[in-house]
Homo-oligomer: A and B are copies of this chain.
Amino acid sequence: MVETKIPRATAKRLPLYYRYLNTLHDDGKTRVSSTELADAIHVDSATIRRDFSYFGALGKRGYGYDVDNLMEFFKNILHQDRLTNVALVGVGNLGHALLNFNFHQDSNIRISAAFDVNPKNINTIQGGVPIYPMSQMVTQLKEQQISVVILTVPSDVAQEVANQVAKAGVKGILNFTSIRLSVPDDIRVHNVDLTNELQTLIYFIDHYDQK
């Protein structure tokens, strides 16, 4: 697919747009204006129009956007037209919570395998997901052709696990550890650092009165 490179901030809003379009579709709505979208998802309408402009002429002036067309468009670029299997590595508290977290409910994403070192977890099924020993990780990732891994291992083994994951041909890591991973250039890492999120929120509360 030939496409302009879009900003990361725009990419992060695409799932929001897609989810809300689904709601509109379920409600039987056939068209929507950028102002209505803006009110619903709390993003200003100029930003929405700019985001959409990266993908060409998706709407018509004075008409707005066709809900079904737009929904199909985002479904396609978000890969939601087919199931994506992901794996989770590290079934501690957070890993366990994510196994039971219903990603699937509003997305076409499914955790199809988990890996852990704890004998209590290995060869059990939690949240519908089989948990394999770490020794089988590379083999399973390859066999299941999994390209995305959720990393919820302790920080002190994060880099080592990332190295193995890279060898298995994974293309993306959602990193919940506080370590900044070093990976080959063809692997993308998104960091979800919960301490960082809280500290940033506290910073803004302390320093600004308004949003």
Chain A interface (Cβ < 8 Å from any Cβ of B) = 1, 3, 5, 8, 11-12, 14-16, 18-19, 40-42, 77-80, 84, 86, 93-94, 96-98, 100-101, 103, 106-107, 109, 147-148, 150, 171-172, 174, 178, 180, 182, 185-188, 190, 192-211
Alpha-carbon gap, A136 to B182, bound state (A)? 46
From B8, B12, B97, B203, A196 is in contact (CB under 8 Å) with B12
Alpha-carbon gap, A178 to B109, bound state (A)? 15
Report the minimal beta-carbon distance from A13 to chain B, rounded to whole angstroms.
Answer: 9
Q: Are A109 and B195 in contact (CB under 8 A)?
A: yes
Q: Are B198 and A186 in contact (CB under 8 A)?
A: no
On chain B, the residues within 8 Å of A12 by CB distance are: 196, 200
Apart from A14-B203, A16-B196, A103-B198, list 8 A-B contacts with CB within 8 A: A78-B199, A86-B198, A103-B194, A109-B195, A147-B205, A172-B202, A190-B201, A190-B204
